[in-house]
Structure 1
């Protein structure tokens, strides 16, 4: 059996990568970091933020509440405080459904 290289999984992401993934400015993520306790990226020696997958999940949760659902910052904070796990699960479900939809749309185009 040929040797198969183990895929290297990235552990930390820059604020630019997170911003690009969400289509927002890095300044918005820095602002949210000050407004929400659940965003706590580590900082390296240079002071650059290093986001984990968990951090990104939390940023996506805030993005969903504020940008997609129209919550105020205080409303989003209250929603997260009441049940962060339920809110996170809902966002993960929506992300998963969006991927399925994209896949189905691509499949439909290929069939026509």
Structure 2
């Protein structure tokens, strides 16, 4: 899944949910389930996610939504070989960015 977010230091939960096309409740749920998601909270208690959190959400989203892992299976996979998963996700991200660019060029030609 190609996520098109502007480069910022922090993202609000609504921005993250919209980018991943999920409900904010799922973002909060994954935050509680996965230790790799650690948003900062402002004085009001609003969650502020870093770009690192977004990358971790991409990993989780890929494992759970795209590859069909259960939450426990995704947790185990992340603990077993996190380096390989990160490398695979980086390759997927690059390919999706190329695909998005090619689609944009195709639409301009037509």
TM-score, structure 2 length as denominator?
0.87
Report SS of the residue matched to 1:50.
strand
1:77-96 counterparts in 2 under 5 A?
77-96=75-94
Partner of 1:76 in structure 2?
74
Could you say which structure has the greater relative contact order, defined with CA pairs below 8 angstroms and 6 or more residues apart?
2
Question: Residue 61 of structure 1: which of 59, 62, 71 is its match?
Answer: 59
Runs of 4+ residues deviating >4 angstroms = none
**Bigger Rg, structure 1 or 2:** 1
Gaps of at least 5 residues in structure 1 are 1-8
TM-score, structure 1 length as denominator?
0.85
Gaps of at least 5 residues in structure 2 are 1-6
Cα RMSD between the aligned structures? 1.3
CA–CA distance in structure 2, aligned partners of residues 45 and 108 of structure 1: 46
